[in-house]
A = this chain, B = another copy of it.
Amino acid sequence: MTKAPETVDPHVFVLFGATGDLCRRKLLPAVFRLTQKGHLRNRHVVLGVARDDGMDERSFRSFARQALEDAGFSDSELDTWCDACLFYQPIQGDGGDDDYTSLKARIEEIEAKREMPGNRAYYLAVPPKVFPIVIDGLGRHGLNESPGWTRLIIEKPFGHDLESAKKLNATVHEWFSEEQIYRIDHYLGKETVQNLLVFRFANQVIESQWNRSAIENVQITVAEDIGVGTRAGYYDGVGALRDMLQNHLTQVLTLVAMEVPAAYDARSIRNEKIKVLRSIRKIDKSEVVFGQYAAGEIGGKQVAGYLDEDNVPDGSRTETFVAARLHIDNWRWQDVPFYVRTGKRLAERLTEIIITFRKPPVQFFKSMELDGDVRRDQLVITLQPDEGFALHVDVKHPATDQDLAKVPLSFRYEEAFGKLADAYVTLLLDVLTGDQTLFVHAEEVEESWTLFEPLLDGTIEAVPYASGGWGPTESEKLIEDDAGRWRV
Contacting residues, chain B, for A2 (C-beta < 8 A): 399-400
Tell whether, in the assembled complex, residue B201 and residue A365 are in contact, meaning their CB atoms are under 8 Å apart.
Answer: yes
List CB contacts (< 8 Å) of A201-221 with chain B: 201-209, 213-214
Residue from A214, A390, A405, A409 having most chain B Cβ neighbours under 10 A: A409
Binds B, one of A150-158, A325-333, A352-360, A480-488: A352-360
List CB contacts (< 8 Å) of A391-408 with chain B: 391, 393-405, 407
Tell whether, in the assembled complex, residue B362 and residue A395 are in contact, meaning their CB atoms are under 8 Å apart.
Answer: no
Residue interface bits A1-28, CB-to-B below 8 A is 1, else 0: 1110010000000000000000000000
Question: What's the Cα separation between A395 and B201 when bound, in Å?
Answer: 10
Tell whether, in the assembled complex, residue B264 and residue A402 are in contact, meaning their CB atoms are under 8 Å apart.
Answer: yes
Contacting residues, chain B, for A405 (C-beta < 8 A): 1, 416-417
List CB contacts (< 8 Å) of A360-392 with chain B: 360-362, 364-365, 368-369, 374, 377, 390-391
Tell whether, in the assembled complex, residue B202 and residue A404 are in contact, meaning their CB atoms are under 8 Å apart.
Answer: yes
Question: CB of A413 within 8 A of chain B?
Answer: yes
State the copy count for this chain: 2
Task: Bin the interface of chain A by size.
Answer: 35 or more
Closest to A378 in B: B205
Tell whether, in the assembled complex, residue B398 and residue A407 are in contact, meaning their CB atoms are under 8 Å apart.
Answer: no
Question: What's the Cα separation between A141 and B198 when bound, in Å?
Answer: 70
List CB contacts (< 8 Å) of A288-303 with chain B: none
Question: CB of A411 within 8 A of chain B?
Answer: yes
**Given A3-B368, A201-B365, A204-B360, 19 further pairs, Cβ under 8 A:** A1-B399, A3-B403, A194-B402, A198-B396, A202-B364, A203-B360, A203-B393, A204-B359, A204-B377, A205-B357, A208-B209, A208-B214, A260-B362, A264-B364, A398-B413, A398-B421, A409-B409, A409-B410, A410-B410
Question: Can you show 16 pairs from A to B with CB atoms below 8 A apart?
Answer: A1-B405, A191-B396, A198-B395, A201-B360, A202-B374, A202-B394, A204-B358, A205-B393, A209-B209, A260-B362, A263-B364, A390-B409, A391-B409, A398-B420, A405-B416, A409-B409
Q: Which residues of A line the B interface, CB within 8 A?
A: 1-3, 6, 191, 194-195, 198-199, 201-209, 213-214, 260, 263-264, 357-362, 364-365, 368-369, 374, 377, 390-391, 393-405, 407, 409-411, 413, 416-417, 420-421, 435
Closest 4 CB pairs of A and B: A409-B409, A198-B396, A264-B364, A202-B394
